[in-house]
Structure 1
């Protein structure tokens, strides 16, 4: 339920989903006949994929749980979630012009997993290879960066990234023993860092035996936003234009921490991702899907039929992205998938800003969004950074949610930030990133 101030002066209050009154068993979607793994690549790498100049190519056999490089065997781009044969390696261009390599694997019998992870643990559980394996777990935990001396705070956040999902709260409660094991391992890897478990206030009693310092947070969006959590814990906002890591923070989800704990316990890599599904009737289901599983198979598993003109959104209603095909795969960091039928699809317009100021009042970064959007509509991106704090955006999407004119404010901000980043990269390399 969305709660608003009677006079409309205060921000809308958007409660996250909760997990109370018993833990449901996730629906298991089973072993898919084919999986697709997505790897973001640069324009030059896209050209190599298009020219079939990759190590992984059609006919190559892969084993579940083994590390593979797309262009270099020593670079660990992906972990195979299934055993099988590579059917094709192709490219697609996604939101904001980002390029992705798609590795399609035809699944064979489940069989035994690769012994490579177990061997890496025997050699050195804290070594580079072991951490490379753990960094490809569900949730994409940044284990490989834990050894940096610049990291002073590690945030384990049981708050959700967006609305209509509860995977982090579920993982913390249902996988508590593995979570503690994973959290203890993080403390060993970063002994000088502060390791903090941020969680909804209603779950504070659940955190007593995790061994972590805990911080209870109101279960309202966008309190789980990583940049806002970093500000809450440090007392100062992350400097505009800096990433969390550059500011000394690393961010882990409870699902990824529990997956690491299970991997250390079983000496085998978990390859199933928890995903919250929102169906066309607005009912929510929790599913357990193999990484790379097509979205269509997941909806089949819960009895939902997808038809033409259905709108699929990956990642949540405020910060997610629309996808163009029901065969779009589940990524290691996919927490939520929404399906809207054509009759209840939220609408956006190209109406001009009416200057009501609601986006300004709701912005947690205090950005003058009504002025910023005028710069972005005219392509004045650098001026937007200098005068209107474009680089201070925390990417919560509240401005789009509350916009009376139904403008896609969040998407315009993200496009501007991506365009500036690509321009900077192009200037540094002396070439083009088109």
Structure 2
């Protein structure tokens, strides 16, 4: 799978496997779960004045948020009763409000979206489509940045072994066409293009947009590299892609936009790739909020003590500590690692081999960056060693012979730096 140049004088190239089986477009539908769980990004620090509470009856497609002033919300994927609202501490210690809903016997759809959103406008999208399956970040940015001039539809998957967006391009051409027209109306973007692998270029050509072919070698399929490859530029150091008028949205989210306005119902199911212990894959569709254990049970995948569960793919995914955690609207994959194949990190110090520097697509001096991060010097890491330029590909950890968890140090560094800046702003 890996192509390493002589003496490692270059970046590793991880090729995406090509699925030649006739069952690649078969999607297993996971049964409706007994309970779903959602996470609201608002910190759960209040205990009164909530709009919702345990015991409340909820309909499928209903918008849920804690208070009237909150911008963050989730869309219920089931009809049932709120069982619990509690605090959940997630990745890197970030605090969420966890809302659990027990599923009822008869499904009923909330009609507010259907009655009030006949046309695909920006206002309607911001009000109801901020949690689109496939891409939860695209719609919210439309309210905080200048109008987008260019939109790139991502028909690729950012991690190896994952093929969720590729399957959408392969099987949902008509819905993609409709979704693109709605996307034009919502954003007013003058230029829309789609990025796909060479194998899907002919199918993507049936869609009325400019097709850009990306060679499926990791990390070519990461969003930042896709946009740089297509546009031939990067944003200024102090700006984001959205601030210069460029947005990227996953193909699954475009189909979700199409289904929302065509059917009058907010999509509540998520397509994802499940990667088994032997690296075989299967595509499943499950309600957002379904617990991981429900999906594994439906696929007859057993886990044992020492096995590792990952939300996402092998390069950029996050390990789970419990099968009771849910899939979210932006979960593209679940990976199950056999305990015998789990590579454990070490507490060794850097041996100055330079592998991480050669592998880094952002050309960051990773060997120096890891030293300051190990000593909690987060501001120095950003100012002197380009911490914020990291595109989170994970190649540094992949090639490190000392097994230093470099990727995790970087993620922690970004999180802690953001906390420091928030405190400084509040004290200013």
> How do 1:333-344 residues align onto structure 2 when only pairs under 5 Å count?
333-344=330-341
Q: State the match for 2:128 in structure 1.
A: 133
2:300 equivalent to 1:303: yes
How far off its partner does 1:32 sit? 0.3
How far off its partner does 1:97 sit? 2.1
Q: State the match for 2:414 in structure 1.
A: 417
Q: Secondary structure at the match of 1:224?
A: coil
How far off its partner does 1:96 sit? 1.8
How far off its partner does 1:133 sit? 2.0
Q: State the match for 2:57 in structure 1.
A: 61
Q: Structure 2 CA distance, aligned partners of 1:325 and 1:52? A: 29
Distance 1:404 1:238, change over 3 A: farther
Q: Structure 1 CA distance, aligned partners of 2:322 and 2:259? A: 33
How far off its partner does 1:226 sit? 1.5
Q: Structure 2 CA distance, aligned partners of 1:79 and 1:357? A: 46
Distance 1:19 1:116, change over 3 A: farther
Give yes or no for contact 1:241–1:391 (8 Å, CA) kept in 2. Answer: no
> How do 1:278-357 residues align onto structure 2 when only pairs under 5 Å count?
278-357=275-354
Give yes or no for contact 1:296–1:327 (8 Å, CA) kept in 2. Answer: yes
Give yes or no for contact 1:84–1:105 (8 Å, CA) kept in 2. Answer: yes
How far off its partner does 1:387 sit? 1.6
Q: State the match for 2:97 in structure 1.
A: 101
Of 278-287 and 349-358, more deviation after overlay is shown by 278-287
Q: State the match for 1:80 in structure 2.
A: 76
> How do 1:167-178 residues align onto structure 2 when only pairs under 5 Å count?
167-178=164-175
Q: TM-score, normalised by structure 2?
A: 0.94
Q: Structure 2 CA distance, aligned partners of 1:257 and 1:65? A: 18
Of the candidates 81, 92, 109, which is equivalent to residue 113 of structure 1? 109
Q: Secondary structure at the match of 1:47?
A: coil
Residues 339-375 of structure 1: per-residue CA shift (max 9 Å, x gap)? 1122221221111111111111111111111111111
Give yes or no for contact 1:200–1:216 (8 Å, CA) kept in 2. Answer: yes
How far off its partner does 1:83 sit? 0.6
How far off its partner does 1:110 sit? 4.2
Of 299-308 and 10-19, more deviation after overlay is shown by 10-19
Q: State the match for 2:255 in structure 1.
A: 258
How far off its partner does 1:429 sit? 1.5
How far off its partner does 1:18 sit? 3.8
Q: Structure 1 CA distance, aligned partners of 2:72 and 2:385? A: 39
Give yes or no for contact 2:122–2:186 (8 Å, CA) kept in 1. Answer: no
Q: Secondary structure at the match of 2:97?
A: strand
How far off its partner does 1:6 sit? 4.0
Q: Secondary structure at the match of 2:261?
A: helix
Q: Structure 1 CA distance, aligned partners of 2:375 and 2:238? A: 22
> How do 1:144-163 residues align onto structure 2 when only pairs under 5 Å count?
144-146=140-142, 149-163=146-160
Give yes or no for contact 1:11–1:361 (8 Å, CA) kept in 2. Answer: yes
Q: Structure 1 CA distance, aligned partners of 2:116 and 2:164? A: 29
Distance 1:241 1:410, change over 3 A: farther
> How do 1:265-280 residues align onto structure 2 when only pairs under 5 Å count?
265-280=262-277
Of the candidates 355, 360, 364, which is equivalent to residue 361 of structure 2? 364
Q: Secondary structure at the match of 1:421?
A: helix
Q: Structure 2 CA distance, aligned partners of 1:219 and 1:226? A: 13
Q: Structure 1 CA distance, aligned partners of 2:109 and 2:340? A: 45
Structure 1 stretches of 5 or more lacking a match?
none
How far off its partner does 1:430 sit? 2.2
CA-atom RMSD in angstroms: 1.9
Of 292-301 and 223-232, more deviation after overlay is shown by 223-232
Distance 1:69 1:161, change over 3 A: same
How far off its partner does 1:243 sit? 3.4
Of 358-367 and 336-345, more deviation after overlay is shown by 336-345
Structure 2 stretches of 5 or more lacking a match?
none
Q: State the match for 1:35 in structure 2.
A: 36
The structure 1 segments of at least 4 consecutive aligned residues displaced by more than 6 Å after TM superposition are none
Residues 96-134 of structure 1: per-residue CA shift (max 9 Å, x gap)? 221111100000124231111111223x43152344322
Distance 1:76 1:363, change over 3 A: closer
Q: Structure 2 CA distance, aligned partners of 1:110 and 1:358? A: 57
Q: Structure 2 CA distance, aligned partners of 1:12 and 1:108? A: 50
How far off its partner does 1:73 sit? 7.0
Q: Secondary structure at the match of 2:66?
A: coil
Distance 1:175 1:110, change over 3 A: farther
Q: Structure 1 CA distance, aligned partners of 2:290 and 2:374? A: 37
Give yes or no for contact 1:19–1:169 (8 Å, CA) kept in 2. Answer: no
Of 180-189 and 135-144, more deviation after overlay is shown by 135-144
Give yes or no for contact 1:231–1:238 (8 Å, CA) kept in 2. Answer: no
Q: Secondary structure at the match of 1:376?
A: helix
